[in-house]
Amino acid sequence: MSGERGTRRTRTFALTAAMADGQRPEGITMHSTVRTVADPKSARHIPEEWQRILALCTGSGLAVAEVSARIGMRLTPTVDLLRELVAHGLVEHSAPLTEADASNIEFLRRLRRGLERG
């Protein structure tokens, strides 16, 4: 069925099949940076939602919170989806920032600018 906006959206559980087997990567938080390691153009066989994330996270990557905002998905399902992409070797994530880095005003400004663009 189509939603109010007239578009179909795949349910998150359908995009995260590997989560049921208990082999999910840990350590991804809203402060983690996610970067694409697979070529988005060669990954045409994967779901559109995955392709969109791969395209967003090319280059230096994005914070998980920024990915969530740009794809219009709540944070928890976004983290689960990113864990699935890590498990498939399509993206990698860096450890969350230290407390000192997370309070770095320049980093926070860059994050805000990124969210405003999205």
Instruction: Note the pLDDT tens digit of each residue in 56-107.
Output: 999 888 999 999 999 999 999 999 999 999 998 999 998 776 777 777 888 7
Domain, as residue range, for 94: 25-117
Q: What is d(CA 51, CA 43) in angstroms, rounded to the nearest whole number?
A: 7
Number of domains in the chain: 1
Residue 5's pLDDT is what? 47
The enclosing domain of 74 has a CATH number of 1.10.10
Query: Does 3 reside within a domain?
Result: no
Checking DSSP bridges between strand 91-94 and strand 33-36, what pairing results, if any? antiparallel
Residue 106 included in any domain: yes
SS (H, E, C) 9-54: CCCHHHHCHHHHHCCCCCCCCCCCEEEECCCHHHCCCCCHHHHHHH
pLDDT score at 100: 77
pLDDT band at 118 (very low <50, low <70, confident <90, very high): low
On the question of pLDDT at 22 being above 60, the answer is: no
Helices vs. strands in the chain: H and E counts, helices first: 6, 3
- pTM check: above 0.85: no
In a domain, 14, yes or no: no
Q: Is residue 2 part of a domain?
A: no
